[in-house]
């Protein structure tokens, strides 16, 4: 049985640059927030510590998925997998849902300080840009479906 495979286009240099910057941005954010959630971030003020301590478990899990899915998306992007845009989309949806809940519940740190508004808006804008970039790479043919291996092809 023969299969026809499409030649993979050469990886553009900017894919690697975006992947590295995305990993650094999301990795540092994930580390910081997960350390704050566990109470192990040394420079938390009392207000922030109380905020993270009061979060319900479902909110913590949702936040952690929002933090870790773009890291998985970076791996998918570097492997040139079509799953990258979907993983970025999961992150963006959860970021928006968590912030809407936090604002509606009146517990958002953005309600108290202008700095938190800037951080929150920046995180949303960057998440949107990451998703747009991944979709553009998929549309241009740089991301491929995950190859399926059959026992007879090994």
Please give the mean pLDDT across all residues of the chain: 91
Among candidate residues 94, 60, 71, the one with its CA nearest the CA of residue 24: 71
Tell me what pLDDT residue 145 has.
Answer: 83
Mean pLDDT computed over 57-67: 98
Tell me what pLDDT residue 92 has.
Answer: 98
Q: Poorest-confidence range of 19-23, 39-43, 61-65, 100-104?
A: 39-43
pLDDT per position as a tens digit, 132-141: 999 999 999 9
CA–CA distance, 60 with 106 (Å, rounded to integer): 17
Against a cut of 0.95, is the pTM above it? Answer: no
User: Other CB atoms closer than 10 Å to residue 31's CB: what's the count?
Assistant: 12
CA–CA distance, 51 with 55 (Å, rounded to integer): 7
pLDDT per position as a tens digit, 108-126: 999 999 999 999 999 999 9
Exposure b/e, 98-135, CB count within 10 A at least 16 = b: bbeebeeeeebbbeeeeeeeeebeebeebbeebbebbb
Is 9 a residue whose pLDDT tops 80?
no
Is 61 a residue whose pLDDT tops 70?
yes
| Spans of all domains in the chain | 13-145
């Amino acid at each position: 049985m023969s299969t026809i495979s499409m030649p993979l286009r050469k990886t553009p240099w900017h894919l690697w640059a975006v992947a590295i910057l995305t990993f650094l941005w999301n990795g540092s954010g994930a580390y910081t927030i997960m350390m704050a959630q566990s109470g192990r971030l040394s420079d938390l003020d009392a207000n922030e510590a109380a905020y993270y301590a009061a979060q319900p478990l479902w909110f913590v899990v949702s936040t952690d998925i929002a933090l870790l899915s773009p890291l998985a998306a970076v791996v998918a992007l570097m492997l040139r997998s079509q799953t990258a845009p979907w993983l970025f989309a999961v992150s963006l949806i959860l970021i928006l849902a968590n912030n809407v809940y936090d604002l509606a519940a009146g517990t958002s740190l953005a309600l108290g300080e202008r700095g938190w508004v800037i951080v929150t808006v920046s995180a949303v804008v960057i998440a949107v840009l990451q998703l747009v970039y991944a979709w553009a790479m998929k549309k241009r043919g740089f991301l491929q479906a995950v190859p399926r291996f059959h026992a007879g092809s090994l």
